Amino acid sequence: MLYFNLISFLLIICGTAVLGLQIPDIAASARVYPLVLMVLVVLCTLVVAAKEIAGRSNTAALDATFAKILSAPLPQQLRTLAFIAIWMAYSWALTPVGFLVSTTCAIAASLWLLRVRRVLVGIATALVFSVVLAVLFATVLYIPTPLGPLDRLLAQAIYAFQH
């Protein structure tokens, strides 16, 4: 944990330094406040890091939830990472693939990954939910969703039904 923390603190300082490199490009009157904050962030990080190294940090070694995650078997850790990856992939796929297909696939994949045993029920749930949500967005909430081939078909069907 010490190494993770120290690397993290180093990353915080590097990130602040990257922002600091932008300071000359900012108008003089607008750079003072962020500059002061950057100095405070770096100082606090250095103090916290120094306390960690000196062993004077007076809290438990690790957050309880993360301790549970790190002590869990590898397959469960990988599934948790895969859960995050599914939803990131969903965000990436929304625009090219469309709302219906990407939402159905993401929900079904997530339920399967989290060990919902009845796969067909999971897929059916995902499909029904996606269609209901797409109709809700189109007819009640008026929020445009990314359109794929199936979304266009659904939009035509809704238009035909309303007229």
Partner 1 sequence: MLEGLLTAVSPTYLLVEIVGVIVGIIFGAIPGLTATLGIALFVPVTFLMSPGAGMIMLAGIYAGAIFGGSISAVLINVPGTPASIITGWEGYALAREGKAPLALSLAALSSGVGGLFSAVALLFLTPMLSTLALTFGPPEYCALLLFSFTIVTVMLDTPLMRNLLGCFIGLLLTTIGLDPVNGAARFTFGNVDLMSGFNLIAVLVGFFCMTEAVFLAFDSLVESSSDEIISYGKGNSMGELFATLWTHAVTYLRSSTIGLFLGILPAVGPVETPFIAHTIERRFHPKDEKFGKGSVTGLIASECSISANVGGSLMPLISLGIPGSGAAAVFIGALTLHGLQPGPLLFKNEPVLIYTFFWGFIAVNLFMMFFGLFGARYFALVLKLPKRVLATFIAVFSILGSYAINNSMFDVGVMFGATALALWLRALRVPILPIVLAVILGPLFEQQVLVLFTTSAGVGEVLGRPIADGFFAISIIMVVFSAVRRLKEGRAKPA
Interacting residues toward partner 1 by CB under 8 A: 4-5, 8-9, 12, 16, 19, 22, 26-27, 29-31, 33-34, 37-38, 40-41, 44-45, 47-48, 51, 56-59, 62-63, 65-66, 68-69, 72, 76, 79-80, 83-84, 87-88, 90-91, 94-95, 103, 106-107, 110-111, 114-116, 133, 140-141, 143-144
Return the number of the residue (25 or 163) whose C-beta is nearest partner 1.
25
To the nearest whole angstrom, how small is the minimum distance from the Cβ of residue 127 to partner 1? 13
The dihedral over CA atoms of 37, 42, 43, 46, expressed in degrees to the nearest 10, equals 160
The torsion region of residue 62 among left (phi > 0), alpha (psi -120 to 50) and beta comes to beta
Cα separation of 22 and 11, whole Å?
A: 17
Find the helix or strand (DSSP H, E) in which 62 lies: none
The pair of structure tokens assigned to 67 is 């301790």
Return the number of the residue (51 or 152) whose C-beta is nearest partner 1.
51
